[in-house]
């Protein structure tokens, strides 16, 4: 009897196939993390739409610039590209001025809504979060956060496609004294 046709031979072959697939994952993860650009295969079973975006439902907020979404059957953390909101103290850390206000605004606007995630150069950050421009009904929510003074512009190369728009929105919000620019002026 041929060894590959025995139950033990089939299990060994299946195990070796699985291990060779797992061994290839770190290299693929590094290629995505270091700027080769997102691809449908990098998202695995999530997949990208033909336009390179992903539809997702916002499940919860972490703070003003990070949410959890459902994509297919997966719960994925998403960090908004190009913006930074003040920290919240909800997790035992030190909160920043306007942090809870920014987080509650994000929760109010996005919780339970379907959003479209658009990627720049990298798919994930070093913490495993998806990095995305978040659109809700055609509105670039990242930009809204900066324009309304809930966030500051925070360009992190190589994901800087919208950096100019964020910088302009920040200048306008600062000049108008919106959000953090008035509430946190002493800091």
> What secondary structure letter does DSSP report for 87?
P
**Rounded Cα gap, residues 146 and 18, in angstroms:** 45
Bond from prior residue into 69 cis (ω within 30 degrees of 0):
no
* Bridge partners, 68 (sequence order): 60, 77
Reduced to 3 states, what is the DSSP secondary structure of residue 33? helix
Say what the pTM is.
0.75
Set 87, 109, 122, 178: catalytic member: 87
pLDDT at residue 146, rounded to an integer: 98
For the chain, how many residues are written? 187
- Within 13 Å, how many C-alpha atoms sit on residue 4's CB side? 3
CB 123 within 8 A of CB 38: yes
Set 79, 124, 147, 178: catalytic member: 79
pLDDT at residue 43, rounded to an integer: 58
**Rounded Cα gap, residues 17 and 134, in angstroms:** 37
Q: Let me know if 87 is a catalytic residue.
A: yes
Q: Let me know if 79 is a catalytic residue.
A: yes
What are the respective helix, strand and coil percentages of the chain, to the nearest 5?
35, 25, 40
pLDDT at residue 162, rounded to an integer: 97
Q: Let me know if 124 is a catalytic residue.
A: no
Domain range annotation of the chain: 3-33, 41-183
CATH architecture of the domain covering 41-183:
Beta Barrel (2.40)
pLDDT at residue 45, rounded to an integer: 53
Closest among 120, 117, 112, 175 to 149, alpha carbons compared: 175
Set 122, 129, 147, 178: catalytic member: 129
- Within 13 Å, how many C-alpha atoms sit on residue 178's CB side? 18
Show pLDDT as tens, one digit a residue, over the chain (187 residues).
444 455 555 444 444 343 333 333 333 333 333 334 555 455 555 677 878 899 999 999 999 999 999 998 899 999 999 999 999 887 677 888 999 999 999 999 999 999 999 999 999 999 999 999 999 999 999 999 999 999 999 999 999 999 999 999 999 999 999 999 999 875 4
């Amino acid at each position: 009897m041929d060894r590959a046709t025995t139950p033990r031979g089939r299990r060994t072959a299946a195990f070796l196939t699985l291990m060779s697939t797992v061994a290839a994952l770190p290299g693929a993860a590094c290629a995505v993390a270091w700027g080769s650009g997102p691809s449908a295969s990098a998202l695995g079973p999530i997949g990208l739409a033909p336009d390179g975006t992903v539809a997702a439902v916002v499940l919860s907020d972490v703070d003003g610039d990070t949410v959890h979404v459902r994509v297919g059957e997966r719960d994925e953390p998403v960090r908004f590209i190009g913006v930074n909101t003040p920290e919240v103290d909800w997790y035992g850390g030190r909160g920043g001025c306007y942090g809870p206000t920014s987080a509650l605004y994000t929760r109010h606007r996005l919780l339970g809504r379907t959003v479209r995630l658009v990627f720049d150069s990298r798919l994930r950050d070093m913490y495993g979060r998806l990095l995305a421009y978040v659109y809700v009904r055609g509105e670039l929510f990242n930009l809204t956060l900066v324009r309304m003074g809930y966030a500051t512009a925070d360009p992190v190369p190589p994901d800087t496609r919208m950096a100019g728009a964020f910088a302009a929105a920040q200048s306008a919000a600062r000049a108008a004294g919106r959000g953090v620019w008035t509430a946190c002026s002493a800091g």
